[in-house]
Amino acid sequence: MRGWLLALCLTPGLAAASEPVPGEARIVAIDVGHTRVSPGAISVTGIPEYEFNLKIAKRLESKLQESGTIKPFLIVSEKARTLPERIRIAASRKADLFVSIHHDSVQDKYLEVRETEDGKKQRYTDKFSGYSIFVSRKNPRYEESLDLARRIGRAMRMDFKFATHHNEAIPGENRPIIDREAGVYAFDDLVVLKTASMPAVLVECGVIVNPAEEKSLQTDERQVIITAALVRGIRDYLGQAPAIPRAEPIVVIETASPSPYPKPGATLPPRPSRGN
């Protein structure tokens, strides 16, 4: 997660979509975090985060298609793709939801180094594991985004623990927890979340710099369980959510760095305006 946070915060974006037609199948944009040329975090054994993300995203697309009432599509690229481009694609396809798939890392201060039998060095930590979900309170559909995040999080919590290390009061973290039981954080200036005109969440499926968790995340069993939780949360949300009106095209331009976040345990401030 570490490498993409600054870019996600500071990249300008454009989001636009039109009014959905009643009775049509719901459209879900599945964003594959990172690309092959910009792969994100690197696992203990040297596997790029992008590879983990792609596997889960493909499974999720396949399972959602089985419902017959949901039309998922992947936002994926071998080459570099800007964050605003991802939102434009979702909007152009009239997506009802935007779900970004990622896998997590930790701050460098927690990474240890070990040498394998063949002389290779691996960076790892045994301190952290689990999933986490992010929403932006600047998203124009924040309440719906939070509802979706909670439904996915509660489904994930049935089998996995919530990774709370992003709440730690250190530089690069200190993210406020909105719902501890569901494993949901607020991160208001994530571009792919705040500039989306539809409900949007970002899911960290697990910590790939934890040796035991990386090994588990590579198994079919773990991937099936993660996918099932994502499907359940999405279907639960779409089963009860009314048609979501679409906003007129809007442009969001970042003119300042994100404001500091409250310390762990602090009361969340009022939802910030999208222009701040």
Q: Which of helix, strand or coil describes residue 99?
A: strand
Mean pLDDT in the chain? 83
The reported pLDDT for the residue numbered 177 is: 97
In terms of DSSP bridges, do strands 184-186 and 132-135 run parallel, antiparallel, or are they unpaired? parallel
215 sits in which H/E element = helix 211-217
Measuring CA to CA, which residue among 71, 70, 263, 84 is closest to residue 168?
Answer: 263
Report the DSSP beta bridge partners of residue 200.
98
DSSP sequence for 131-178: BEEEE-TTSTTHHHHHHHHHHHHHHHHTTS-B-GGGGSSSTT--PPEE
Measuring CA to CA, which residue among 120, 86, 93, 112 is closest to residue 196?
Answer: 86
Average pLDDT over residues 213-222: 98
Domain boundaries, the chain: 2-15+26-247
User: What are 22-58's pLDDT values in tens digits?
Assistant: 557 899 999 999 999 999 999 999 999 999 999 999 9
The reported pLDDT for the residue numbered 115 is: 86
User: What are 101-126's pLDDT values in tens digits?
Assistant: 999 999 989 999 888 878 888 899 99
pTM, whole model, 2 decimals? 0.81
The reported pLDDT for the residue numbered 90 is: 97
16 pLDDT higher than 60: no
Report the DSSP beta bridge partners of residue 15.
250
Report the alpha-carbon distance of residue 57 to residue 52 in Å, rounded. Answer: 9
Q: How far from chain centre, in Å, is Cα 173?
A: 16
Please tell me which residue, 274 or 272, carries the higher pLDDT value: 272
Q: Which of helix, strand or coil describes residue 15?
A: strand
The reported pLDDT for the residue numbered 4 is: 40
Measuring CA to CA, which residue among 193, 204, 200 is closest to residue 84?
Answer: 193
User: What are 146-190's pLDDT values in tens digits?
Assistant: 999 999 999 999 999 999 999 999 888 999 999 999 999 999 999
The reported pLDDT for the residue numbered 80 is: 81
The reported pLDDT for the residue numbered 118 is: 82
**Upper half-sphere CA count for residue 59 (Cβ side, 13 Å):** 20
Report the alpha-carbon distance of residue 84 to residue 250 in Å, rounded. Answer: 12
pLDDT band of 242, cuts 50, 70, 90: low
Give the architecture (CATH level 2) of 2-15+26-247.
3-Layer(aba) Sandwich (3.40)
